[in-house]
Amino acid sequence: MKIIRIIGKGIKDAFKSVFRNFSLSIASISCIAITLVIVAIALIATYNVNNITKKIEGVLEIVVFIDREADEDDEKYVGESINKIANVDSDKTVFNTKEELATQLREEDPNMALILDTLDENPLQASYIVSVKDVTKISDTAEEINEIQHVTSVRYGENIVNRLLNVFSILRNGCLVAVVALIVVTAFLVGNTIKITIFSRRQEIQIMRLVGTSNTVIKLPFLVEGFVLGIIGGLIALGISLFAYYFIFDYTNGTLFTNLAPLVSPSSISINTAVVLLAVGGLVGMFGSIMSARKYLKI
Amino acid sequence: MDFIELKNVFKVYKNGVSALADLNLTIKKGEFVFIIGQSGSGKSTLTKLLYREERPNRGEVYVGGINVAKLRNSNVYKLRRKIGVVFQDFKLLPKLTVYENVAYPLETYGMSRGEIREKVLVALERVGLKERMHSFPNELSGGEQQRVGLARAIVNEPKLIICDEPTGDLDPKLSREVMDFIDKINKELGSTIIMATHDKEIVNRMKKRVICLHDGVLISDKEGGAYIENEDN
């Protein structure tokens, strides 16, 4: 009961103080909200990058073309060599003879069937379709396969993939730097708000110290105040970022430029984003107030 | 061991001012002691050592058997709950009523409302301010404000009450009124009372033990003593 009463008083005092120093509280809350909106952008971007990368990984395959002169043994040799490579997911390696490919083409497109009929010889090359385990090493794997005897060429969507991954990593790192810088600034601003609170309540604090109030009870309202500022900032940031993301999701019909890059649905990331924003907000607020309480309370 | 014991206490402030030098003193439980001396003689420093607002540079300060000089900062509050302090400027919170001011320490200790009410009413009764409990400090006279300060100091029935110039801001009539209440509390609660003061009239009238400091050195300690004239300001 005693602890509940003390915590209750701490929370009451904290809320009183938020309203008493309203303009400063607004400044701190705005700063926290701005920081957290950027955290949210970084977070939502990361979810999407991961999602898109996974999607790309799913469709990304290396097509290995085999010399038209190669016989069945040679083709078999190529297949075995490919499967020996560590990064190759050997269970998914598929072999298509040139006859199979021709049949496939005829079925897909009647015009192609006509063209193929006019030719004396099947112009297609037998090929292996190879899946990799780690998509970031796909170019090394492709090169390795290219070295195998009887392989004439290998193809994969190298340029698009590399460019996309580069853009994403720049975006992610940029957000990270901005977030760290803003978190530091925000912590200082919260600290400053708490400093003002401490000064405006210095008489009360002095009396508390003299009448034997424990340090924890003296500090508690300031910690709660920092936490409350952080949580309010977090809620505002959450509202702004989710609303904006819902809007973007609707506007783009849930895809980014191409169907290959679908956006993550807002509902599936709402809870995670909320947890991260509120936790970061609360912690930054508390960190700021702990800094100030240590420096200015002198207890 | 006596209730309060100071052994070879030295206190030099950071700015080099020596406030106390080799002070030795014992005070028994329930005693009423005046500490007199000129401004800067070390009276306030001595009281601050007792409630651990200051630490001595050397020596030991025992209050109720505890060497408060060695008390950790995080444990000081436990000592202060057993000590009531009355200040010259009252140190009341202007936005709180008389009742709330007296209840304030107990609230921060986490006591229940019922318990707080009981104790606050007893304390206000003792200082004769029960009728004014809903007033705000600025609606009271100086003497009444100091009695609220006194009520706050005694609300937790402390074993030691330290008064730092409690009548310094009051006229002689109000001073006498406040002193009568302090004397009454000393008798009723049996609390030890240590009072730093300049007030010659009060010291002479009360006929209690008088300790006189001069430049941080104890120069006289007499039972039923009077204000030392040549130390008068």
Q: What is the pLDDT of residues B89-104, one digit of tens each?
A: 999 988 889 999 999 9
Cα A40 to Cα A273: distance, rounded to the nearest angstrom: 7
Binary contact (A203, B91; C-beta < 8 A):
yes
Residue A212 has pLDDT above 80, yes or no: yes
pLDDT in tens, A148-176: 888 888 887 767 667 777 777 787 788 77
In the block, tokens 């009238």 appear at B205
Report whether pLDDT(B232) > 60: no
Asked whether the predicted pLDDT for residue B63 surpasses 80, the reply is: yes
Q: Which residue of B has its CA nearest to A201?
A: B93
pLDDT > 70 fraction of chain B, expressed in percent and rounded: 98
What element of type H or E holds A31? Answer: helix A22-59
Q: Could you give the CA distance from residue B121 to residue B183 in angstroms, rounded to a whole number?
A: 19
Tell me the CATH number of domain A61-156, given options 3.30.70.3040, 3.40.640.10, 1.10.3720.10, 1.25.10.10. Answer: 3.30.70.3040
Strand partners, B25: B6
Burial class (CB in 10 A: 0-12, 13-18, 19+), B80: buried
pLDDT number for residue B230: 54
CB-based contact, A298 to chain B, within 8 Å: no
Which whole number is the average pLDDT over B106-118? 92
Chains A & B: contacts with CB separation below 8 Å: 58
pTM for the structure as a whole: 0.69
Residue of A nearest to B74 (CA): A215
User: For residue B3, what pLDDT is reported?
Assistant: 93
List the structure tokens of A207: 């009396």
Q: Which two three-digit tokens encode residue B161? A: 């009450």
- Return the pLDDT at A4: 83
Q: Identify the pLDDT of residue A121.
A: 80
- Given pLDDT bands bounded at 50, 70 and 90, which one contains residue B117? very high
B74 in contact with chain A, both atoms CB, cutoff 8 A: yes
> What does the pLDDT look like over B196-220, one tens digit per residue?
998 888 899 888 999 999 999 999 9
- Residue A299: CB atoms within 10 A of its CB come to 18
User: CB-CB: which of B81, B91, B111 is closest to A207?
Assistant: B91
Residue-averaged pLDDT of chain A: 84
Q: Which of residues 156-175 of B touch A (CB under 8 A)?
A: 156
Residues A25-55 have pLDDT tens digits of 888 888 889 888 988 888 888 788 778 777 7
Q: Decide if A7 touches B, using CB distance below 8 A.
A: no
Mean pLDDT computed over A67-86? 87
CATH 3.30.70.3040 intervals, chain A: 61-156
Whether B75 has its CB under 8 Å from any CB of chain A: the answer is: no
Residues in chain A within 8 Å Cβ distance of B112? 1, 5
| pLDDT-based confidence at residue B153 (cuts at 50, 70, 90) | very high
Question: What confidence score (pLDDT) does residue A299 get?
Answer: 59
The answer to whether the CB atoms of B105 and A212 lie below 8 A apart is: yes
A 83-102 residues inside an 8 A Cβ radius of B: none
What would the two tokens of residue A277 be? Answer: 């924003």
User: B91 is written with which tokens?
Assistant: 């140190």
Pairwise pLDDT comparison (A200 vs B142), residue with the higher score: B142
B73 with A299: Cβ contact below 8 A: yes
**Confidence check: pLDDT of A276 > 50:** yes
Residues 3..62 of B with a Cβ closer than 8 Å to A: which? 51, 53
Q: Residue A262 pLDDT > 50, yes or no?
A: yes
**Chain B residues whose beta carbon lies within 8 Å of the beta carbon of residue A218:** 108
Output the pLDDT for position A247.
Answer: 92
Check residue B147 and give its pLDDT.
Answer: 92
State the average pLDDT for chain B.
91
A55-65 pLDDT per residue, tens: 776 677 888 89
Q: Which residue has the tokens 């392989």?
A: A151
Are residues B110 and A217, on separate chains, in Cβ contact within 8 Å? Answer: yes
A297/chain B closest Cα distance in angstroms: 13
Contact residues, chain B, for A12 at CB < 8 Å: none
- Indicate left, alpha or beta for A152 from its phi (over 0: left) and psi (-120 to 50: alpha): alpha
Using the structure block, give the residue that is written with the tokens 């340029």: A159
Residue A219 CB partners (closer than 8 Å, separation 6+)? A293, A297, A299
| pLDDT of B233 | 44
Q: What b/e sequence results for A262-285 when a residue is b if at least 16 CB atoms lie within 10 Å of its CB, and e otherwise?
A: bbbebeebeeebbebbbebbbbbb
Nearest to B98 by CA among B50, B155, B46: B155
Residues in A closer than 8 angstroms to B83, CB to CB, are 212
Cα–Cα separations (whole angstroms), residue A98 to A71, A103, B160: 12, 9, 103
Mean pLDDT of the region B107-136:
93
**Model confidence at B79: pLDDT above 90:** yes
CB contacts, 8 Å: B51 with chain A: 210
In terms of CA atoms, which chain A residue is nearest residue B51? A210
pLDDT of residue A105: 82
| pLDDT given at position B152 | 95
Indicate whether B48 pLDDT > 90.
Answer: yes
pLDDT value, residue A240:
95
Find the mean pLDDT for residues A198-203: 83
Query: For the stretch A5-21, what's the b/e string if a residue is b when 16 or more beta carbons lie within 10 angstroms of its beta carbon?
Result: bbeebbbebbeebbeeb
